Amino acid sequence: MRLLRTLLCVAAFLASASHAQDARKEIQRYQQMIADGSPVELFELGGEELWKKPQGPKQVSLEKCDLGKGPGVIKGAYAALPRYFKDADRVMDLEARLVHCMETLQGRSRAEATKAVFGNQDTPSEMEYLSAYVAGHSRGAKMAPGLSHPKEKEAFELGRALFFHRAGAWDFSCASCHGEEGKRIRMQDLPVLSKPEFARPVVATWPAYRVSNSQFKTMQWRINDCYRQMRMPEPKFVSDATIALNLYLAGTGKGETYRGPGTKR
């Protein structure tokens, strides 16, 4: 695939700047068409199987997992995440909560449950399948992450501070790329994620299938891969920092109707 990508990288297509507007429209049409023909449902299907499959020392499924709407309630659960969970005394996003359920319900060790959280095109991870399944059950629900509990407020503020915090070998913050309107990286439009009008369509379409590498990707992965490109060390999976950033984005984009899992370039 890398070779094909490299070949595609050198393929230029815009004859002149005057065509930029048409090009944008055509790219939107492309995005619409790939969304219509997306294999995203295959991942939802795979996730349903894993959700119902008895696993771990206790050989139980995740069907009793409480994602915030009560044990076993999946409908609308993703749209209300991240949020504070009293039983864990912590703000959690979907993936953090799934790990929690794997530990408490299935008796699995944290190390085992998180040993391969980011899959590849040949072996998507359990986390990716489950995210697709759970998020799919929020289609049509309004995004309403937890923003009222003191720990939720604290996490939101930490997320904001992280968003603007410059560090790493290249001095980047999230805002270095996502801070100014109307900018692109290569041909890719960059949403200003600190502004609701830009954050809303983004949070309403993650997690997502990426056609460029045929992989289903979660929000934890999205944050991880941004930090990789920012030349930072790696954020630990479902650490407070990643959840805070996730809540900052979800909170900034709240109110949008969830229409994911999305399909991206």
In the range 181-200, which residues lie near other proteins by CB under 8 A? 182-188, 190
Complex with other proteins: residue 105 or 251, whichever CB lies closer: 251
**Longest Cα separation, the chain:** 63
Instruction: Report if residue 73 touches other proteins, rule: CB under 8 A.
Output: no
CB 110 within 8 A of CB 56: no
Contact code string over 32-71 relative to other proteins, x by CB under 8 A = -xx-xxxx-xx--xx--x----------------------
Tell me whether residue 9 is one of the annotated catalytic residues: no
Spatial separation of the C-alpha atoms in residues 243 and 151, rounded to whole Å? 12
Going by C-alpha positions, the residue among 107, 104, 125 that lies closest to residue 116 is 125
In our burial notation (b when 16+ CB lie closer than 10 A, e otherwise), range 225-260 reads ebbeebeeeebebbebbbbbbbbbbbbbbbebebeb
Complex with other proteins: residue 38 or 55, whichever CB lies closer: 38
Complex with other proteins: residue 144 or 232, whichever CB lies closer: 232
Q: 9: how many CB neighbours lie within 10 A of its CB?
A: 9
Give the shortest CB-239-to-other proteins separation in angstroms.
4
Give residues 95-124 in contact with other proteins (rule: CB under 8 A).
Answer: 121-124
Instruction: Report if residue 89 touches other proteins, rule: CB under 8 A.
Output: no
Give residues 213-232 in contact with other proteins (rule: CB under 8 A).
Answer: 213-214, 227-229, 231-232
